[in-house]
Structures are given as C-alpha cells and as structure tokens.
Amino acid sequence: MKKLFLVGFSFFAMNAMAQNINFGLKAGLVFNADKGAVKAFNGVIEEKGKGSVGYQGGAMVRIKAGGLYVQPELLYTAFKNEFEDGGETIDVKKSRLDIPVNVGKTFAMGLVQVQTGPVFSLNFEDTIDSDGINFPDADDRDKISLGWQIGTGVNIKNLNVDLRYEFGLGKTVSKYVISEFGEFQTENRSNMLNLSVGYFF
C-alpha cells in the first residue's frame, strides 16, 4: 500500500511539473543601436559608426512556479556595425550564441508579461566586409560577454510576442591583423532592442 501511494504521488508530481514547463521556439529582429569604435595603433579610424538591424533565433523553456516564471533560452544572434573610412564602407559583422535567463511575471490572466534577467554571450565570429571584400575572422576576441535585459510581451494562447531592451555590462573587444589595414581592434557594447515571436508547444 505504501509503495502504491509513493508511485501515485510521484506520478502526480511529475504530471504537475510537466504542466508548469513549456518548450518553444522563437525568432526575431535585433535593432543594434551601438555605434561601436574601430581603433588602430596610430589612433581612432572612426570613433562613431552606426548600428543596423540583425536577427536571432533559437529555443526557449518557460518554467512556472509560485506565480513567477523562469525562462532560459539558447539563441543564435547576428548583427553588425557600419563605419566609413576614406569614402569606403566597412561592416564589422558579429555572430554569437546568447543565453538569456529571464525571471518574469504574467498579468491580466496571463496575457501580459514583464521580465528581466542576465544574458550570457559566447562570441564566436567577427568578420569584416569592406566594399564587398570579405576579410578573415578576428585573430583574437573577448570570447564571453555579459549583458542585462528588461522587457515586456503578450501571450495569445501558445503564441508569444516579446520586446526586450538589452544593454551590455562591459565592452567586447576583437583584434585583427590585416595587411590592408594593419593591426587594429573593434569595440562594441550591446545596446539592442530585441523583438521576437515565439511559440510554446
């Protein structure tokens, strides 16, 4: 009898836990407002660049507990900074793996959400495109960076529309040695507005 009770309780607990865990996929746009900087050993080539629109996509998990939820995600993110030097356009393209972990709460019968939390970024590619000419990946870079997100969103059944502002807690530096430009480094700090659409299964 005792064993039967334990089996029944375990089944009930697992079923309750499963109801509070939702897996999903998401994709969207990132609006990179960071101007960045390109710095050579002889000074600054272009202190103020301009940001652009990038994209991200990946998977997410929402775990509900005690009226709150925790939502870790795994996202591929790509964006760039644009610079001009001597009439040439230089695009510094960056790719990274983002791991945001947001804590949030829903209101209005689950329709509206607010959230905040850290985002850990694994920076794995920094390439340069100068007027259609692609140069190799950075020789060295800050492989890990840390930011913070705050945002809101709406939930319509299994559909989730999410808007977040992300700011970096430090600069990310990449170093290059290219014969055409010499030795230099790029700097950027996350300053992004992320708009995504997701679906929980």
Residue 154: CB atoms within 10 A of its CB come to: 15
pLDDT of the residue at 180: 66
Coil/strand/helix, residue 9: helix
- Give this prediction's pTM: 0.84
Q: How much is the average pLDDT of 157-170?
A: 96
Per DSSP, the three-state class of 138 is coil
Structural domains in the chain plus CATH codes: 22-200 (2.40.160.20)
Query: Model confidence over 93-124: pLDDT tens digits?
Result: 889 999 999 999 999 998 999 999 999 999 99
The Cα–Cα gap between 199 and 201 comes to 7
CB burial readout 21-52, b (16+ within 10 A) else e: ebebebebbbebebbbbbbeeeeebbeebebe
Does pLDDT of 42 surpass 50? yes
Would you mind telling me the total number of residues written for the chain in this entry?
Answer: 201
pLDDT confidence tier of residue 161, bands split at 50, 70 and 90: very high
C-alpha dihedral sign at 188, 190, 194, 200: positive
Percentage of the chain with pLDDT > 70? 83
Strands (E) across 33-111 are located at 37-40, 43-46, 53-65, 68-85, 88-107
